[in-house]
Structure 1
């Protein structure tokens, strides 16, 4: 049984090394321009700061990107934690730190999402013994600040506050007749059905977490390249 499990993991790792992971998140509201313009991201700091971090990273503003991604990570955003890991692993705009990169990827993988588990094992396989010891030791500092046990209550609190302020929240949350008007180019407006914007999975903390699990367990995709072999720059 161990041999079979190892073979499956080895195959998955080989595939991840061979093919970059191009990042799109299925049914991600950040990819819906109209949802973004309504201010959806204001009430979802995990998605908001991930989006800002990705934009800054793509523009080569790495210090800014890291700052945004850490803010998203504080709100339990696992893709942001994975992107921080990759930046540290490759030394992309930041000093290379492979043990800390592993610690971040270990956090990103704590929900058991397959691709993040594969990246974590790739990182671990390339660390030497001293790096592994430091990864475990320094990782405890990250756990105290960014693990789900402490990060989930942050995003849950934001969602509960936003949910309480939404139209109809005190009378069954959403009556079904609300429309959201979104300003567009040329003084034109677009209308979004409230059932989409106010879908309970975007505002109820438990359903929001379950939605992320559903999306990422099926897609496993994030704006992170393949976990390629990168030697320690200090050796």
Structure 2
């Protein structure tokens, strides 16, 4: 199980949010990750960020061997524009995990979606997928892709995430007194109440939709690890990768039904880094 999870996460650069290996020591540090802060999680951060919430629950189910449930959580995170979760869905269809059988065509469509913003790790994997498909599978992938983009593409999913973040912020600040800069949030813990500065919890990069997208871009645009690298693809094709999607544009379905998932308690997800 550990070997399987490690393979998936390296292939789609999940490990980019973890500690970088020594080879990357000279690169600028990654932005802080609130999902590694137990106080941030226990203060209700995930309730306003469903993209991160359902991704983490999906990873927890993967660890526990509940692959079908993990797939459902990744699809629900995908509904809120989470590109790493879309990449996980692609890998699971590609490897036949959590599904009745492998579906390379559907896997390509999901990886094309994960690469929508030009994140290099996902673009590279998308090209590897495409090179492995036969003509019938390629046609099927493009057909599947239009339906997937309509529901999960950024044009449909980002407005949902924006609404969730704004509602969550209003709900949390509305239940407390004081300006954010001086606000102290008290979180119950094993040794009693602990406090976290409101300025940290309400950092604009987590609550302003444009800054939040930029925060994701800073982590995922050039992943630090990966089984398949952009350089390998270029060497094989002797040409730069074109990040443009092959899937025809489809009108977004912003009001599409949200995927259902099992009930899970996310308390404790931020107690330690996801390794």
TM-score band w.r.t. shorter chain: 0.7 to 0.9
State TM-score, norm by structure 1. Answer: 0.80
Q: In structure 1, what is the Cα distance between the partners aligned to 2:70 and 2:40?
A: 23
TM-score in terms of structure 2 length = 0.69
Q: What corresponds to 1:62 in structure 2?
A: 67
Aligned-residue RMSD, C-alpha: 2.4
Larger proportion of helix: 1
Point out where structure 2 has 5 or more consecutive residues left out of the alignment: 1-6, 18-29, 229-275
Equivalent in 177, 182, 188 of residue 187 of structure 2: 182
- 1:91-112 CA-partner distances (Å, limit 9, x unpaired): 1232210000000000000000
Distance 2:195 2:77 in 1: 29
Residue aligning to 2:163 = 157
User: What's the offset of the Cα at 1:199?
Assistant: 0.4
SS at match of 1:23: helix
Query: How many residues in Structure 1 have an aligned counterpart in Structure 2?
Result: 204
Query: Would the alpha carbon gap of residues 66 and 30 (structure 1) be closer, same or farther in structure 2, given more than 3 Å must change?
Result: same
| Residue 130 of structure 1, CA deviation | 1.0
For the 8 Å contact 1:113–1:220, the answer to whether it is kept is: no
Summarize the alignment of residues 63-82 of structure 1 with structure 2, pairs less than 5 Å apart: 63-82=68-87
| Residues 50-100 of structure 1: CA deviation (Å, up to 9, x unaligned) | 000111111110111111111100000000000000011011232210000
Task: Measure, in 2, the Cα distance between the counterparts of 1:92 and 1:168.
Answer: 42
**Is structure 2 residue 195 aligned with structure 1 residue 191?**
yes
Question: Partner of 2:112 in structure 1?
Answer: 106
2:14, 2:170 → 1: CA distance? 36
The corresponding residue for 1:145 is 151
Indicate the residue corresponding to 1:84 in structure 2: 89
The residue aligned with 1:205 is 209
* Residue 173 of structure 2 corresponds to residue 167 of structure 1: yes
Contact 1:174–1:198 (Cα < 8 Å) also in 2: no
Matched with 1:46 is: 51
CA deviation after TM superposition for structure 1 residue 40, in Å? 0.5
Does the residue aligned with 2:173 lie in a helix, a strand or coil? coil
Gaps of 5+ in 1: 1-15, 228-235
Structure 1, 211-220 or 71-80: larger mean CA deviation: 211-220
**Deviation digits for residues 124-161 of structure 1 (CA, Å, limit 9, x no counterpart):** 11111111111011111101100000011100111121
Can you list the C-alpha shifts for 1:13-38, whole angstroms capped at 9, x where unaligned? Answer: xxx99x75462524221121111111
Q: Which residue of 2 aligns with 1:125?
A: 131
